[in-house]
Amino acid sequence: MTGKPSSVTSPKLLDQVRGKIRLKHYSIRTEQSYVDWIKRYILFHGKHHPKDLGAQDIEAFLTYLAVEGRVAASTQNQAKSALLFLYKTVLDMDLPWLDNVERAKAPKRLPVVLTREEVQAVLARLEGTHWLIASLLYGAGLRIMEGVRLMELLAIRLGCKKPQPSRWLCG
């Protein structure tokens, strides 16, 4: 054994974020989104480490997004959630509530919901695989990516091969 002390380096910040997200079983899309917002936040503050920044820096970033970036309210909330995850879960830092953030304006919209008859009319126009996928999405209340993952899982279980993106050969 050499006389050098063994130094174990801790993972980089974004690797820590990915690790915590995976530990909590968040979706891959959430992971990608959170990592992207954290990168933007760090770049916005001149590549300073977030542990050296605080609530007022988060407020400045979120306000910038709303005022200068003119992002939608949901986009600003997504950035806020990513930063709160970073500080609370990864860095284990409590922050005072962010009261001084300029909020992006949320549009007043009602969601579009189809009646049962409208859904039946749409499904009646579909055939084969398209009908099956749409029926599963509607009947199980799945999101599109959940349906895609389900199809991939079923294809793998059936021993299908994927020679090209979005094309499964089963036989």
Collect all residues with Cβ–Cβ distance below 8 Å to 17 and sequence separation of at least 6. Answer: 34, 35, 38, 85, 86, 90
Residue 58 in contact with residue 44, Cβ under 8 Å? no
Within a domain: residue 139? yes
Q: How confident is the model at residue 101 (pLDDT cuts 50, 70, 90)?
A: low
Per the model's pLDDT, the better-predicted residue between 17 and 152 turns out to be 17
What's the whole-number mean pLDDT along residues 61-76?
88
Least Cα distance to 78 among 127, 29, 16, 118 occurs for 29
Residues 17 and 84 in one domain: yes
Quick one: pLDDT at residue 118? 92
Least Cα distance to 16 among 95, 83, 91 occurs for 91
Question: Domain count of the chain?
Answer: 2
Contacts 24+ apart (CB under 8 A), 115-119: none
Within a domain: residue 60? yes
Q: Is the pLDDT of residue 164 over 70?
A: no
User: Which CA distances in Å does 15 have to 7, 20, 28, 89, 151?
Assistant: 18, 9, 14, 13, 30
Least confident segment among 2-6, 71-75, 92-96: 2-6
The residue assigned the tokens 């979005």 is: 166
Cα maximum dimension of the chain: 78
Q: Give the CATH number, domain containing residue 78.
A: 1.10.150.130
Residue 48 in contact with residue 42, Cβ under 8 Å? yes
Q: Is the pLDDT of residue 4 over 60?
A: no
The CA distance from 35 to 152, in Å, is 26
Calculate the CA 67 to chain-centre distance.
23
% residues pLDDT > 70 (the chain): 82
Q: Is the pLDDT of residue 66 over 60?
A: yes
Residues 20 and 81 in one domain: yes
Residue 86 in contact with residue 38, Cβ under 8 Å? yes
Quick one: pLDDT at residue 11? 81
Tokens standing for 22? 């995976």
What's the whole-number mean pLDDT along residues 102-130?
83
Within a domain: residue 102? no
Residues 44 and 81 in one domain: yes
Residue 89 in contact with residue 20, Cβ under 8 Å? yes
Residues 21 and 70 in one domain: yes
In one-letter notation, the amino acid at residue 17 is V
Within a domain: residue 59? yes
Residues 20 and 85 in one domain: yes
pTM, 2 dp: 0.60
Q: Please give the residue range of the domain that contains residue 36.
A: 13-90
What's the whole-number mean pLDDT along residues 48-52?
92
Quick one: pLDDT at residue 142? 87
Quick one: pLDDT at residue 95? 75
Q: How confident is the model at residue 43 (pLDDT cuts 50, 70, 90)?
A: very high
Quick one: pLDDT at residue 1? 47
Within a domain: residue 146? yes
Quick one: pLDDT at residue 55? 83
What's the whole-number mean pLDDT along residues 2-19?
74
